[in-house]
Amino acid sequence: MNTTIAKRKFGSTGHESSRVIFGAAALGNSTEAEVDRAFETLLKFGVNHIDTSVSYGKSEKLIGQWLKSHGGAFFIATKIDARTYVDAHKELHRSLEDLGVPRFDLLQMHELVEDADTDTFLGSQGALKVLIEAKNQGLARFVGVTSHGFNAPKIITRCLKEYPFDTVLLPFNYALSVHPEYGPAFSALRSLCRERGVALQTMKSIARSPWGRVPKNHTTWYRPLEESADIERAVHWVMAQEELFLASVGDVNLLPLFLQAAADYTKQPEKAEMEEMVARLGITIPAQNQWPRLW
């Protein structure tokens, strides 16, 4: 088994990022011992990029405490959650304080999901102004935008037409890649990002289905894949798209399996393998109203 995840240029930022980005939502309610174990695992696999958010529970404070004690050459990305300028400005400075850093490597808008939501963000009193000011003032080296739900590719495409963001982040996995609407919209966005040198980050690569009536035994809002062979297939499918980066699973107990799968990547699974897994596990995409903020 390999223990090093491949690195790639992160868009036009100049950062050589591990293909897997640590999705620090996994630390939202963690203990310090769990944080230590998570960082030991990240370092073992060569992950050099952390993605957190002001809305991820204790994540920013826990990361800040760990970095203060241990240091480390991590690319630090976070997200503001508020849509308006005034509220987003407050979140920006709270994140700087909690993470204990003088500036972010990447500051992102978190989880745009609807047109009205995006209108506010892009408006004259919207949070976009906070991102632009942070970049101009040296509080963020780069800025990005993220989205959830079936409209994510279209919402992000709209945002890229309004402002030259450095990075984007949205869901992508096998089931979404073959979806008759999402798949083509994602492909069009992918072409636009390639053309403009925008780093294309993806998430939910090992999503299985909504929880439904299944007892919830992981911290992810969706039911994840759990067996190492299934996780490997799902991760390898996304990693085969060479310019894509993968946010890791939001559960510290599944993190080692996810990172091992990424480190062992050699080639894309056959479509027949993916279809067999979809049928065997009942893999489904959440309905639009089952995504966060749309519940």
Can you tell me the distance from the alpha carbon of 156 to that of 148, in angstroms, rounded to the nearest whole number? Answer: 10
pLDDT for res 180: 95
* Section 210-222 average pLDDT: 96
Q: What is the CATH number of the domain that holds 108?
A: 3.20.20.100
Residue 230 lies in a domain: yes
* Domains identified in the chain, total number: 1
Residue 171 has pLDDT above 80, yes or no: yes
Q: Does 295 have pLDDT greater than 80?
A: no
Look at residue 202 in the predicted model and tell me its pLDDT: 98
Say whether pLDDT at 135 is over 80.
yes
| Element counts in the chain: helices (H) and strands (E) | 11, 12
| 23 token code pair | 């999705």
Which structural domain range is residue 156 located in? 14-290
**Average confidence (pLDDT) over 17-38:** 96
pLDDT tens digits for range 78-116: 999 999 999 999 999 999 999 999 999 999 999 999 999
| The predicted structure's pLDDT at residue 30 | 94
- Model pLDDT, residue 1: 82
Residue 95 lies in a domain: yes
Confidence grade of residue 268 (pLDDT, cut at 50, 70, 90): very high
Establish if 9 belongs to a structural domain.
no
Residue 7 is assigned to a structural domain of this protein: no
Mean pLDDT computed over 142-152 = 97
pLDDT of residue 146: 98
> Which two three-digit tokens encode residue 256?
């080692």
Q: Give the integer Cα–Cα distance in Å for 6 and 57.
A: 30
Structure tokens at 104: 């972010």
Query: Does residue 170 have a pLDDT over 90?
Result: yes
Cβ atoms of 209 and 173 closer than 8 Å: no
Residue 1: inside a domain? no
pLDDT value for 174: 98
pLDDT-based confidence at residue 41 (cuts at 50, 70, 90): very high
Tokens 């919402």, located at residue: 155
Residue 5 lies inside a defined structural domain of this protein: no
In the predicted model, is pLDDT for residue 167 greater than 90?
A: yes
Please state, for a pLDDT cut of 90, what percent of the chain lies above it.
96
295 belongs to a structural domain: no
Does the structure show a pLDDT above 80 at 118?
Answer: yes
Q: What are phi and psi of 236, to 5 degrees?
A: -65, -35
Residue type, 244: L
Query: Is the pLDDT assigned to residue 62 strictly greater than 80?
Result: yes
> Structure pTM?
0.97
In a domain, 161, yes or no: yes
The answer to whether residue 294 scores a pLDDT higher than 90 is: no
Q: Is the pLDDT of residue 23 over 80?
A: yes
Average pLDDT score over the chain: 97
| Coil, strand or helix at 6 | coil
Question: At residue 117, does pLDDT exceed 80?
Answer: yes
List the single range of 42-56, 59-73, 249-263 with lowest mean pLDDT.
Answer: 59-73
With contact defined as beta carbons under 8 Å apart, do 112 and 292 qualify? no
Averaged pLDDT for residues 149-161: 97
In the chain, % helix, strand, coil (3-state, to 5) comes to 45, 20, 40
